[in-house]
Chains A and B, each alone.
Chain A
Amino acid sequence: MAEHVTCQEVVELVTDYLEHALPADEAALFEQHINFCDGCEWYLEQMRTTVAAVGRIEEEDVPPETREKLLAAFRDWKRA
């Protein structure tokens, strides 16, 4: 059983950690590392910020042709 994990390992474990999918002892090694390593603490923070930013994406451009077709379909449906 490993005594510690490296930063290189931590960046690969980060998603599983956030998903609560790490086994207990790996999660402990992960947290111990975050506790002493500023770089990885900031990396974890960057990942959380990334997820939050992605969560703020709301609407995207729909291609005009698709828009037209769907609007036409909607109008047909309204009439029916």
Chain B
Amino acid sequence: MTHLGAQRSKASADELELLTRLRAGDEQAFEALVARHYGTMMAVAQTYVKTRAVAEEVVQEAWLGLLQSLDRFEGRSSLKTWILAILVNKAKTRGVREARSVPFASLAQEQDEPAVEPDRFRGPQDGFPGHWRAYPGKWGTAPDVALEDRETLGVALRAIAALPPTQQTVIRMRDVEGYSSDEVCAALEVSAANQRVLLHRARSRVRAALEAHLDG
């Protein structure tokens, strides 16, 4: 079983309720759980295997595996940590057979990806080089900054889905699912520094997508 590091927390009350319903054969609980984790599980799987189709199979195998070992889950780790562990095991097994296509270690050779287009900043010959040419918008926490807005969440989700698999996996695990940095590093076998680079690039792209949507 993949060891996911020290920051496991116990299964929350919400998760335990879902688990109880699952054991009782509640289909809606199962579907809810699947929908909740589908995106992240697919992203994680795709960092181990080449094609989306194979990733789908891995995810299905993981859910099967989970159902088969449902009796053994005692709630000492969180449910989502446990789901992740099963998934990573299945993905690794499959990945070994397929030869993992996007190793995290190749990060150093990747192109630099600026968080913001360089032409939005004043040039080296300008007064105030490196300063914003025009300031970004003030979103704040005003009611019209739509955190609740379905449309805005849709923009964020589409932006995430368009990310390269490695970036997508990290932002999903950290920001969508709320796994800790340690958990992500352990599950993906990546250094804290590399994880941060990926998180940075992912968040920067999503911010840019939201900016285009909110500020036009």
Name A's B-contacting residues (CB within 8 A): 6-9, 11-12, 14-16, 19, 21, 37-40, 42-43, 45-47, 49-63, 66-67, 69-71, 73-75, 77-78
CB-CB contacts of B152-178 with A at 8 A, as 1s and 0s?
A: 110011001000000000010001101
SS class, residues of chain B in contact with chain A: helix
Known: A8-B118, A15-B196, A70-B63. A45 touches B138 (CB 8 A): yes
A39, B133: Cα distance in complex, Å: 10
Query: Separation in Å of the A12 CB from the closest CB of chain B?
Result: 6
Contact B178 A55 (CB under 8 A): yes
Contact for A70 among B25, B34, B39, B157, CB less than 8 A: B34
How many inter-chain residue pairs (CB < 8 Å) link A and B?
A: 136
SS class, residues of chain A in contact with chain B: helix
**B207 an interface residue at 8 Å Cβ cutoff?**
yes
Query: Separation in Å of the B138 CB from the closest CB of chain A?
Result: 5
CB-CB contacts of B123-153 with A at 8 A, as 1s and 0s?
A: 0000001111001111111000101100011
Name B's A-contacting residues (CB within 8 A): 25, 27, 30-32, 34-36, 38-39, 56, 59-60, 63-64, 67-68, 114-116, 118, 121, 129-132, 135-141, 145, 147-148, 152-153, 156-157, 160, 171, 175-176, 178, 181, 192, 196, 199-200, 203-204, 206-207, 210-211
Contact B147 A66 (CB under 8 A): no
A46, B209: Cα distance in complex, Å: 12
A73, B30: Cα distance in complex, Å: 11
Closest to B129 in A: A6
Contact for B207 among A12, A40, A46, A61, CB less than 8 A: A46
Top 5 nearest A-B pairs (CB, nearest first) are A6-B130, A39-B135, A15-B200, A39-B132, A59-B35
